[in-house]
Amino acid sequence: MALTRKMLKAMGIEEDKIEQIIDAHAETVDSLKDKAEQYEADVKKLKDVQKELDDLKADGGDWQQKYEKEHSDFEAYKSDVEGKAIKANKTAAYRQILLDSGIPEKRVDTVLKASADVVDKIELDKDNKPKDADKLTETVKTEWADFIPVTSTKGADTATPPANNGKDVKTKEEIYKMENGRYVLSASERQAELTKLYQSEKGD
């Protein structure tokens, strides 16, 4: 489940804050994707470098020592590039799991820093998706429960009278009070006061 305006709104976040969170999230994800794509592009370029090294080795003689040095440097560079690409993909995947689990955007980086070992152990499929996404989500919701906002909808408390009840409620004598042979209150006013009196007596 991706981060959506509907989900943020359901969490009670203000409309103007929702736009800020969505924009920040989009920028972060795009940045991670750009890095991952760059690393993957570098990996592809390594094939050409490998071919050049193989050609040098085939020449033999004076090239042997140069080949060994360049080959060693190449292997180190290759390992570094591939490692960064994998790390970027794992980080992006875990970031999405944190957001889907309800971790607020402003808390995600904090959780990521504290979960470096978890990120390293993530296994990705061919589409760079976590193989155990459900298990990871369950763990996040358990271990980082204090970071996840809890929202609830409370119904009307029937044991508590409305604001009008118990306050300024007239008695029957007051409601039917007469002066100069006429009711002080009009028929509609008497009806309204009788309703308030009834609610006050019943406590609803």
Q: What is the pLDDT of residues 81-136, one digit of tens each?
A: 888 888 889 899 888 999 988 888 888 888 888 888 988 999 998 888 888 889 99
Mean pLDDT (whole number) for 170-193: 78
User: In this model, does residue 195 exceed pLDDT 80?
Assistant: no
List pLDDT tens digits, range 59-87: 655 666 777 788 888 888 888 888 888 88
Is the whole-model pTM more than 0.85? no
pLDDT value at residue 167 = 54
Say what the pLDDT of residue 82 is: 84
Confidence of residue 165 (pLDDT cuts 50, 70, 90): very low
Mean pLDDT of 36-45: 77
Share of the chain above pLDDT 70, in %: 77
Question: Which of 141 and 151 is assigned the larger pLDDT?
Answer: 141
> What's residue 9's pLDDT?
67
- The domains of the chain are located at 5-147, 157-204
In this prediction, residue 81 carries a pLDDT of 86
Token pair 């300024």: residue: 168
pLDDT at 140 over 80: yes
Q: What's the pLDDT at 4?
A: 66
pLDDT at 163 over 50: no
At residue 162, the pLDDT reads 47
